[in-house]
Amino acid sequence: MAPTTLPDTETMYEAFVSRDTRFDGIFFTGVKSTGIFCRPTCRARKPRRENIIFFSNTKEALDNGFRPCKVCRPMEPPGELPSWVRQLLNDLQDDGEDGRIRDRDLRRMGLAPEAVRRWFKKHHGMTFHAYARQLRINRAYGSIRRQQPVLDSAFETGYDSLSGFASAFKKTVGFSPSESRSRGVVALTRIATPLGPVVVAAVSGQLCLLEFADRPALESELRRVRRDFDAPIIVGDDPVFTDVASQLAEYFEGDRRAFDLPLAEYGTAFQREVWRHLQTIPYGETRSYADQAVAIGKPRAVRAVARANGDNRTAIIIPCHRVIGRDGSLTGYGGGLWRKRFLLDLERNATR
């Protein structure tokens, strides 16, 4: 679903010229001289400004006689994984695989190891082989927690020796396999949304972070997650991830107005009180920071309430986007004001 109002023309033009990934899916750019429309992130040569027209969705571009660009493929959902990445991830998750895909295996699949490495570095901050290694360790950690012997877990995840497994395990998570039953880890994944990919983290089946992947403060948020739960963060699976993905999809389709997900508790008592109140703001409605302060019985704590909203690490699920200025203006939002506008428009449209 597209927002009813676009960002201003200057913002869209700057985003298009700089290939700003934050605007992927928010608007589309038609090039009058070629009759082609593109994503803001298109790698093709940028046209002159007078040849550019902006659209809020692909249907609008098609209705105006523009055809989709073959370079950036604007008809595909934003944030969706390329088919070759999906296949690689499926291979890694396959229970019958040990998760060991070497460069020669990539070449056999018709993939250049260098290109695969660059994609994973850009989108996950690590090489493909490091990503695969973390998945294997996460799988082994889960099996040991389920009382499987360490030796069996090592062999099942493709390690030839117990010593090699123990060394890789400790290097990744910071403690030995035998300590797994008494120590926790935070599992990390990415989920595609119409607003771009989100980074999702969970601990023991409870959601502890959901943030837009391009948010500048993401690294500091991940550091706080490590500190708050005294646990390493590794790429992997968690039982709650399936529910997060399905409920987000329903929300963006306009079919879900409230989330039913287990949330891990963190933050100060005051922050938790503010976040609990955020979850009581009805879908499709907004409140001011002053309203929020009054509702929790602390009318003079408007600034403190605003700071607590900014410290929310579970975007959308805890709907801090529903808080606006007293004069009705959109105020700060970690994911960007254009995303806040999108979310508010989506909810208002769904309630009409």
Query: Residues with catalytic annotation?
Result: 38, 320
Q: Which helix (H) or strand (E) holds 29?
A: strand 28-31
Q: What is d(CA 334, CA 315) in angstroms, rounded to the nearest whole number?
A: 9
Q: For residues 141 and 173, is the Cβ–Cβ distance under 8 A?
A: yes
Residue 161's identity, in one-letter code, is S
The count of C-alpha atoms lying within 13 angstroms of the C-alpha of 125, restricted to the half-sphere facing its C-beta, is: 13
Strand duo 186-191 + 36-38: pairing = unpaired
Q: For residues 296 and 305, is the Cβ–Cβ distance under 8 A?
A: yes
Long-range contacts of 2-7 (CB under 8 A, 24+ apart): 2/26, 2/56, 2/57, 3/56, 3/338, 3/341, 3/342, 3/345, 3/346, 4/56, 4/345, 4/349, 5/341, 5/345, 6/54, 6/56, 7/338, 7/341
